[in-house]
Structure 1
């Protein structure tokens, strides 16, 4: 993984951020990638800026990123979203990238003449756009557009290196070289020198997070097997990266021109994935949460009266009766099935009635279609009998079975704390070290509210961003510890489940149940008085595992002994595993 400076880009379009993060993931560890580099020595502007600069053993490259649609009329270029307001320029992207490169080259060569022997080049990246217009101003050799964006960034830099090395050889009659390791460090200090600063909590967590958001070798192997097989079942505990793999598979198959249905149980997760798909400009990928899709199918099939006649409080409504009506609607109305079915959180849909619906949603059905299921067997709410019936149903389709064991979401401290409180062990393999996760014990409700205020203020003043923080409760907000509390640390408190209420700049609140499938860098867990109670264990396991880097649990003083008992039991389980 290359060194990214800064670790997290700020105030930039999503397309630019995605390219920057992809460079970080796919370039060698001793290379340096700079984002939004200010250029006071720009040749045509008082102050210029390079979107991205790569310092590498293959040379120095300035990249201009256009993360939306690109068009040109009468010499005026129009660049449009998603993720930013449309704007126009007289300069084409190649000229912008070239002029930024010249300013970078001047800064380096003025500081040290040895940089004059280095390969300098520029490139243009359009991740969401196919650009195949011919023109004397355009260099297709240095363009990375939608057609080839999935190729590794290391391959793209190698392509730039070959082109610019040949260009220099033809113009100068000699070969230029890349940067030495020493020159990479020197160039980095010239262009963006280090400052002596104190390390904030937010800065530390960002560094820790960079270690856990990449695919592990285990996930890469599983991903390759998914590519090679039309049907698979991937099992893994919380934090092992099932959702990451599910989305990666869905995007890849949609990118190959197939109609893909991404289905999950959680409405918030579906909304999150849907926004991500829209921002990336991916076509052919439909995202639904299961109950929302069922209601739409029933509406189209004219079965709304049958659904309305059912009692939603009946124990079998969601497990059997609701999907049965949806299946009837599909049979009566038909409807075009999808080419591929990808289901995340399958454990929440693990009944034969749900699988009757799935069989109708994909071309070829479950026996002959293309589908991939991702599930956490520890969160199976329907029990072993239902799981056995589904496994028997799927056996005739001969799916590939895979297990994920590496934790690529949580730090070791988060995984341990969530395991202690819930009594259900998260994966610990390859989880990186992070900050200690502290319980906050309190007496009265006013004492708890003051401590929550103090904690949130501390986190925000230590560079933890609001978008990286969430308060999770085992209860609805109206029944939670913060019921009636409108503001925290001077910010409004908004419920993620209420899309009309939620706004940027708010402290996010959600129930643990509604937050399944999502994650945040920092989780503040409240209403934890039921630690150790078996009926709450699964909810605690699902909710607390949403924290990537830091977990603070608010526990009443009366439950202190329960936590100690849970910690002792966790230690004993760990001792047995180590034998």
Structure 2
């Protein structure tokens, strides 16, 4: 939900870094033959204080004092569930869940609040809802103040949680309970909560956009290129300009379309309703093959075409003209620009109006298709992003072995990269097994996990279906190229390497770099050290050998892959 997501972002950005921010915490408790369930929209775990449960309500809220009911304008001012009762009930269930996990609660400061981040609201007052428990739209930049007011001073008998106590509660609420130690899931959650969307380098780029009409933004994986692409498209679309946001990857194009629509809706722009894949639209978000494929000359082409490489890289670019898009665009934003060949770049350049703006975002190390387009010849100003806001330091350090990646990771260390070993003919299957074990034993949901291989793609030719599953939070199992530009908290990466193809070393390095950097918080790598050694990736082979034994004998199947340092 947009309201919950907004509040989560504000909490991560404004609260002390030691406060753990856990969104959508589901709890089930039983007692006396009765099962009770609750879901907290947001739980804040503060080592210096206690735990705060937040019930979030989107839209424009109001309280009808004459009937003692709550209403939402967007629901036709009909009565909605009482958010105060929900918050109090969730707090009660949370307390019982902690007690069931043998977490002491007698000294725990357990507070609650109701948040209405999309509207201003005057507190009805006690006994309904006091000012200290209401967080309305002003928390967008005053959340710290409201949070401290809700917490208040510790009362008689209450004690601060401390770091260990906070980690223990996070483990119970988000991960499997292991004798008070933080679980792998809790470590993932902690890193996810530290991810920041904007930094000063991003703000510098946005200023470049205002001053220069043609800008090339370079940055390694995780530096926020796609976030900026969406920001740029939203900025100019909201001003009424005709905008094209385009990329090569099918899955990424679907995600960009949804993300831009959400961004425009979040700022209250009616243009959100005009975001489309129709090339003749006002705000168009699509991939280049779909765009050019709308040309009349492309009609009737077999799917797949007889010669796919020639069709996609030579024929289609020549069909993409302003006639296909019913005219030029005021602003063209090109994400993952390194994927496009010279012919494609020329075609996209032809869609920019004479006085229009063109912004491209690229990471040459992710050029999996050897496109090598001369982007600087088309764009006047270059800007380099130098902070990694997506990947943990552990993941960035691993990826640095295969390409230059920014190690200035604003989100912190994260869990260590883990490895699992399997014979080369078992890597594909073993990768799935490791993923299933993570889901079963560590409660990693489908929406948080991507299962990737370098080349193996069980959904080849089904990119549209895969895109829909990604957007709906479904399972992802595909290859490095298909998931380019996307990301998930956890990635299990299978190194399906042919040991006889030592001539593919550089191609392998790029594929490993691109796939590994799709992980934000946890990366698990599955491979055969002998096959990896045979293609010349000696350091990676040594790292795999330092991990647990292969699953063939059953020993490694009894535990999750262990972390490997370095």
Q: Structures share a fold, TM > 0.5?
A: yes
Deviation at 1:510, TM superposition (A): 0.7
Instruction: Give the conservation status (yes or no) of the 8 Å contact 2:61–2:116.
Output: no
Instruction: Give the conservation status (yes or no) of the 8 Å contact 1:63–1:123.
Output: yes
Instruction: State the partner residue of 2:361.
Output: 374
Deviation at 1:346, TM superposition (A): 1.1
Instruction: State the partner residue of 1:89.
Output: 79
Instruction: After superposing the two structures, state which structure 1 stretch, 369-378 or 249-258, moved more.
Output: 249-258
- Going from structure 1 to structure 2, the CA distance change for 1:414 and 1:49 (only over 3 Å counts) comes to closer
Instruction: State the partner residue of 2:323.
Output: 329
Give yes or no for the alignment of 1:154 onto 2:141. yes
Deviation at 1:373, TM superposition (A): 1.4
What do residues 164-192 of structure 1 show as CA deviations (whole Å, max 9, x unaligned)?
A: 99xxxxxxxxxx98789x989469989x9
Partner SS, residue 368 of structure 1? strand
Instruction: State the partner residue of 2:285.
Output: 287
Give yes or no for the alignment of 1:467 onto 2:436. no
Instruction: State the partner residue of 1:3.
Output: none
What do residues 224-248 of structure 1 show as CA deviations (whole Å, max 9, x unaligned)?
A: 4346435322101223221122223
Deviation at 1:327, TM superposition (A): 0.7
Give yes or no for the alignment of 1:544 onto 2:544. no
Give yes or no for the alignment of 1:524 onto 2:493. yes
Structure 1: distance between partners of 2:467 and 2:391: 31
Instruction: State the partner residue of 2:196.
Output: 214
Structure 1, unmatched stretches of 5+, are: 1-12, 41-45, 104-110, 166-175, 481-493, 571-579
Structure 2: distance between partners of 1:259 and 1:69: 31
1:246 aligned to 215, 221, 229, which one?
229
Deviation at 1:325, TM superposition (A): 1.6
2:395 aligned to 409, 414, 430, which one?
414
What do residues 195-249 of structure 1 show as CA deviations (whole Å, max 9, x unaligned)?
A: 66343222222223434x3146454443443464353221012232211222233
- Going from structure 1 to structure 2, the CA distance change for 1:402 and 1:139 (only over 3 Å counts) comes to farther
Instruction: Give the conservation status (yes or no) of the 8 Å contact 2:395–2:519.
Output: yes
Instruction: State the partner residue of 1:225.
Output: 207
Structure 2: distance between partners of 1:201 and 1:122: 29
Structure 2, unmatched stretches of 5+, are: 30-35, 93-105, 173-178, 267-271, 276-283, 544-566
Partner SS, residue 327 of structure 1? coil
Alignment of 1:89-238 (within 5 A): 89-90=79-80, 124-127=115-118, 144=136, 153-155=140-142, 158=145, 185=160, 197-211=180-194, 213-215=195-197, 217=199, 219-226=201-208, 228-231=210-213, 232-238=215-221
Structure 2: distance between partners of 1:314 and 1:450: 29
2:377 aligned to 392, 399, 405, which one?
392
CA RMSD of the aligned region, Å? 5.5
Instruction: State the partner residue of 1:262.
Output: 245
Instruction: Give the conservation status (yes or no) of the 8 Å contact 1:261–1:340.
Output: yes
Partner SS, residue 486 of structure 2? coil
1:404 aligned to 355, 371, 385, which one?
385
Structure 1: distance between partners of 2:533 and 2:491: 23
Partner SS, residue 425 of structure 1? coil
Deviation at 1:19, TM superposition (A): 2.0
Instruction: State the partner residue of 2:416.
Output: 435
Structure 2: distance between partners of 1:303 and 1:55: 59
Instruction: Give the conservation status (yes or no) of the 8 Å contact 2:251–2:466.
Output: no
Instruction: State the partner residue of 1:555.
Output: 528
Instruction: Give the conservation status (yes or no) of the 8 Å contact 1:55–1:179.
Output: no
- Going from structure 1 to structure 2, the CA distance change for 1:28 and 1:535 (only over 3 Å counts) comes to closer
Deviation at 1:509, TM superposition (A): 1.1
Instruction: After superposing the two structures, state which structure 1 stretch, 51-60 or 194-203, moved more.
Output: 51-60
Instruction: State the partner residue of 1:274.
Output: 257
Deviation at 1:63, TM superposition (A): 6.0
What do residues 145-173 of structure 1 show as CA deviations (whole Å, max 9, x unaligned)?
A: 6xx8xxx7333565899xx99xxxxxxxx
How many residues are aligned here? 482
1:515 aligned to 464, 479, 483, which one?
483
- Going from structure 1 to structure 2, the CA distance change for 1:247 and 1:144 (only over 3 Å counts) comes to farther
- Going from structure 1 to structure 2, the CA distance change for 1:215 and 1:48 (only over 3 Å counts) comes to closer
Partner SS, residue 16 of structure 2? coil
- Going from structure 1 to structure 2, the CA distance change for 1:63 and 1:324 (only over 3 Å counts) comes to same
Structure 1: distance between partners of 2:183 and 2:51: 31
What do residues 451-495 of structure 1 show as CA deviations (whole Å, max 9, x unaligned)?
A: 445423432212332322222223353599xxxxxxxxxxxxx97
- Going from structure 1 to structure 2, the CA distance change for 1:471 and 1:375 (only over 3 Å counts) comes to same
Structure 2: distance between partners of 1:374 and 1:558: 34
What do residues 241-262 of structure 1 show as CA deviations (whole Å, max 9, x unaligned)?
A: 2112222333444455655432
- Going from structure 1 to structure 2, the CA distance change for 1:271 and 1:506 (only over 3 Å counts) comes to closer
Structure 2: distance between partners of 1:96 and 1:15: 19
Instruction: Give the conservation status (yes or no) of the 8 Å contact 1:54–1:61.
Output: yes
What's the TM-score, normalizing by structure 2? 0.65
- Going from structure 1 to structure 2, the CA distance change for 1:76 and 1:457 (only over 3 Å counts) comes to closer
Structure 2: distance between partners of 1:501 and 1:226: 34
Instruction: State the partner residue of 1:477.
Output: 457
